[in-house]
Amino acid sequence: MTLVDTHAHLYAKQFDTDRTEMIQRAIDQGVEHLFLPNIDRNSMDGMYELAKQFPNNCYPMMGIHPCSIKEDYKEELAKAEQELNNAPERFYAVGEIGLDFYWDLTFKEQQKEALRTQIQWAKKHQLPIVLHCRDSFQDTLEIVSEMNDEQLTGIFHCFGGTIEEAEQVIALGGFYMGIGGVLTYKKSKLDEVLKAVSINYLVLETDAPYLAPEPYRSSKNRSLRRNESAYMLKVAEKLATVKGISLEEVARITTANAHNVFQL
């Protein structure tokens, strides 16, 4: 049984003390493919090092996270574009890109500009996009719809929306929803939404080190609250329960979906 973590920040400082062991734990659990979204210029070196150390397991993306779109956003975009143009074959997606209206609206228009720019990169290099859309689903959907064509594919990372929003993603064609630890939270109601959504449009993710699934999220042991790719098994188990199918079937379908979107 093979699983794919389509979204994990394994270069993050939270893993500085046990990064190699943490990745090995994931591989031992069957989570053999780990996709690494870039954040900004500061995360690139760590991401590259992991891809070099685990060439058959860790796969880098290139993009600028919306929370890194600040005063110097043009410099950030220029650096990412340079990396992408220099070696497009080393990247499996343009990500993590999108809109985040939760923390700060100061650079709302710049975030939209950056999203459009990075979607253009994806089209140029025929790569999927990995979308962050916190408190901004409809704005993100509007831009993606505006630029959509038969070549554009991708993932709405950390999907936690309604059935109607899921249907809007599916209607784009070529897009999937990333499902992570939130599915295991009692108050999320995501399980009710996913009962009405075909698993053929879902991929699994962790967003490690964030959004640890239950029971790790509420563990009395603080060290277990950090999310890691091995914990994705809990998400897969919950999805199997929600859909009324076996864990093996969840692994088979979501892995095939991930391989399809990333052209692995």
Q: What is the pLDDT of residues 40-90, one digit of tens each?
A: 999 999 999 999 999 999 999 999 999 999 999 999 999 999 999 999 999
The arithmetic mean of pLDDT across residues 112-140, rounded, is 97
Q: What is the pLDDT of residues 134-193, one digit of tens each?
A: 999 999 999 999 999 999 999 999 999 999 999 999 999 999 999 999 999 999 999 999
Return the pLDDT at 221: 87
Q: Which residues contact 167 (CB under 8 A, 6 or more apart)?
A: none
227 and 207 in contact (C-beta within 8 Å)?
A: yes
Share of the chain above pLDDT 70, in %: 100
In this structure, what token pair is assigned to residue 160? 């936690």
pLDDT band at 21 (very low <50, low <70, confident <90, very high): very high
The total of other beta-carbon atoms located within 10 Å of residue 138's CB is 12
What's the whole-number average pLDDT of the chain?
A: 97
202 and 181 in contact (C-beta within 8 Å)?
A: no
- Give the separation between CA 49 and CA 193, rounded to whole angstroms: 38
The arithmetic mean of pLDDT across residues 246-258, rounded, is 98
pLDDT surpassing 90 at residue 253: yes
List, in order of start, the domains of the chain with CATH numbers.
3-262 (3.20.20.140)
77 and 114 in contact (C-beta within 8 Å)?
A: yes
pLDDT band at 18 (very low <50, low <70, confident <90, very high): very high
